[in-house]
Structure 1
Amino acid sequence: MKVIASKGNISPRQIYSLLNERKDLFGFIRGDGRQVWKKELVTFLIDEVAAGKDISCDDYTDSALDVATAFKLLQIGPKDRLLVGVSISPWIEAVALHHGVGQVVTVDYNEPVCDACHERLTTVSMDQLMRVSTPADYSHIISYSSIEHDGLGRYGDPWDPWGDMHAMKEFWTLLKEDGILLLAVPTWSPDQLTQLLARLYGPIRLPWLIQGWEYMGTVNRGLFSTSVPFKNGDWAWHPIMILRKRGTSPEPLVTNSYCSINCTAHDESDHLWLSSHKACNVNDNCGDLNRHFPPLANAKQIQSGGIIQTWELRPNGVY
């Protein structure tokens, strides 16, 4: 079913402007904050991909090209089951469905409503995923501009200074042996925590993040490289790292011992280890952030107008 096609060579910004203009056709935001993905929206984006159009997200240049390139390199197809971690629109899903992925499952804290939006696409909440998934359910997982926010509370999630690390543990559990994680996070140098909005990964935290995984390479701007992407001057630069699950699960680098307020113990017998991300629920009036975000203890605070904007992470507090 071809719903509507954009004309000629138009930019991703123009495509998403069209989607905003035609909410009646493509979807809308419900009062509870959940997006509604209509069949017309998913079909439109798949048709755009098939026509060679760029459906990359506005802020992330060539993001759709990079996802498509990674899928082609990995030869993802009808026998594969793909988990998509958090989507503001079904652009990754459209690329996957165009490339013939057998089943696509999108997970989010506020999962989009997808009532028969595509026969091979379903959406689930994080809680539902924890309940219905079993270990080694997926052949591939893709997380694009997502886990750098985990545990910072920006999107209503509980505070957890190691939320990104815990997400990596969950990915490991959900993947089959030799399964592939496609991970795109903002890479930067030096490492930074920008307010409580997002982590920027450099030579310190990025190796922590991917420890235990087999690093296969990176896709960026449609090109494959074996280099690990540490340095870049653009927060929107999200190269896609290709990581393979091999061997035993990496040991957790951190524990709850850093938390001093309202912390509950990790249940390591839980098959997802940290189900519901309830590692550190910190009171609103928590005082010194360094008590709850231990990496900041050795960090340099960068102030602008008296307001702390970012923290630069340096080894051993040396600047």
Structure 2
Amino acid sequence: MRVRCCRPIDGCPARIQPSPCLPLPYRFFPSWHFLRLVACNDSVYSFVQYLFSQLRVDGKPPSSLWRRTVIIGIIGVGHLAASILSGLVGAGVDPADILLSPRGQAHALSARWGIPLAADNDDLVNRADIVLLSVRPVDAHTAAADLPWRPGQTLVSFCAGVTISRLEAGPARVMRAMPLTSAAINASPTVCFPATGPAIAVLEKLGPVIPLGSEEEFEVATVNAAVYGWAQDLIRQSANWATARGGDAMAMRKLAALTFVAAGRLIAETDKPMETLIGELVTPGGITELGLGVLAREGQPQAWQAACDAVLQRLSGRVPA
């Protein structure tokens, strides 16, 4: 690899001007710390500093090439992991910077995107900087235990209901997160606790990240992963109802889905209280009021709250899996 400086240096004495396109060994400038060591006085340091700013390696500034690559390892390559991989690759992560545990869908996904496979979980943890744990909750403790964790590494657990205290990762930092399968299209709202810088940067490639203040709050927020599925079922029911009454199936599917997106965005992107937003829709004697009345009489609000409570109890370990 060759590095070239192709511009004259203004104000630099002629005796130390580089010749046009002067080839320089890339290894000569490993870091700014080295430059400070070799600069014996201000003028020499200024010259070397300017020279460094003109360097290019394969068209890129050295600072971008010397920035250490973060390796993302994934243990547990199932449906959620496949969605996350799709999102990471779609966000521009180099497949070579991802490492998969060689189980589940790993071989198929490796062949699809050119993602390398680790020999086993020990090999994966030895090589990765951030490890995403996406196994079944019942397998989480065993999957993380007795691996060669090291300081500076981060384990991010996607295992619902598994507390940080149940994950043995030695000197590595442990963070819990709950992405959704919409990570595949970089649209997953992902809650996490505690917020850890490098891991947050990875999760942000999948959609907006919502850091939380405690593990208890995280447990409550994890119920949203179930709500996500319920919302999809409501979309399905609405689309099917309209199709059964003569609507075009694809048009009704799109309309129902985008209606939920629109309702969610309006709530997420305004500071108005949710009660105010709903109140603005409920015209006395109108169709929104009519429908809400039917749902209330049929017990929908109570049923929805009961479903949320049941999920939280399961996550908290008060109801057997």
Write 1 or 2 for the structure with the bigger share of helix: 2
Say whether the fold is shared (TM-score over 0.5).
no
- Scaled by the length of structure 2, what TM-score is found? 0.25
Structure with greater proportional strand content: 1
Structure with the bigger RCO (C-alpha within 8 Å, sep 6+) is: 1
TM-score for the superposition, normalised by structure 1 = 0.25
Structure whose alpha-carbon radius of gyration is higher: 2
